[in-house]
Amino acid sequence: MLIRIVLGCMTLLYPLAVYFGLQAFDARSLVILLVALAGIRLLTLDRSPLNHWLWLPAIALLGLWSWATNSAVGLKFYPVMINASLLLLFLWSLKFPPSMIERFARISDPQLSDQGIRYTRRVTQVWCVFFLLNGLCALLTTLFGSTEVWALYNGLIAYIAMGALFAGEWLVRQSILKSPQGEARHE
């Protein structure tokens, strides 16, 4: 549990760590941060081969690229990878139900109605669009933005957008649950 909390904090603070780290160190030195994230992630991965065979080689390549070229671009790809991974995970859950949001919903409501299942599927689709657009913005700031623009987007704006989507979905869900159709949740 503690390792997952540390990983979450490191992932959230990663853009700021890279931004401030590049003020004092070269990119080659900051590869240690990327390797540390990969190591902690390895300790927390599920047994799924997708987790091992997708994440670890990609992080290794980014680390090697940053090390060999002393370029920050490899370090800046981490948010792109996070969004791509979440997009793949959510898309996978749409192809092989239950959808990701349905899984979360069933934690608090194991007897989810058919309407609830349809709703959670739609919300999973919305999150897929979000991860696609957010990942594209992360990619564009990585390739074409300054380090300041990259850190601002990936370390602040992306989190605000994610929070707004989360809060907006919660408000929509509350309104749906209070509607006449929502009251008949359990059939």
Residue boundaries of the structural domains of the chain: 1-72, 77-187
Which of these, 4, 79, 85, 71, lies nearest to 31 by C-alpha position?
71
The pTM (predicted TM-score) of the whole model is 0.85
Which of these, 60, 34, 48, 22, lies nearest to 150 by C-alpha position?
22
| Candidate ranges 27-31, 45-49, 128-132; pick with highest mean pLDDT | 128-132
The per-residue pLDDT for range 54-80, each reduced to its tens digit, is: 677 777 788 888 889 999 998 999 899
With a CB cutoff of 8 Å and minimum separation 6, the contacts of 114 are 187
Q: What 3 state SS string does 82-98 have? A: HHHHHHHHHHHHHHCCC
Any idea what the Cα angle at residue 103 is, between residues 89 and 79, rounded to 5°? 30
Tell me which amino acid residue 71 is: S
Instruction: Give just the sign of the alpha carbon dihedral 31, 36, 39, 45.
Output: negative
What is d(CA 161, CA 99) in angstroms, rounded to the nearest whole number? 22
Any idea what the Cα angle at residue 111 is, between residues 124 and 123, rounded to 5°? 10
Tokens at 187, concatenated: 């059939």
What is d(CA 10, CA 109) in angstroms, rounded to the nearest whole number? 31
Average pLDDT value for residue range 136-141: 98
Task: Calculate the average pLDDT of the chain.
Answer: 86
pLDDT bracket for residue 168 (50, 70, 90): very high
pLDDT at position 54: 67
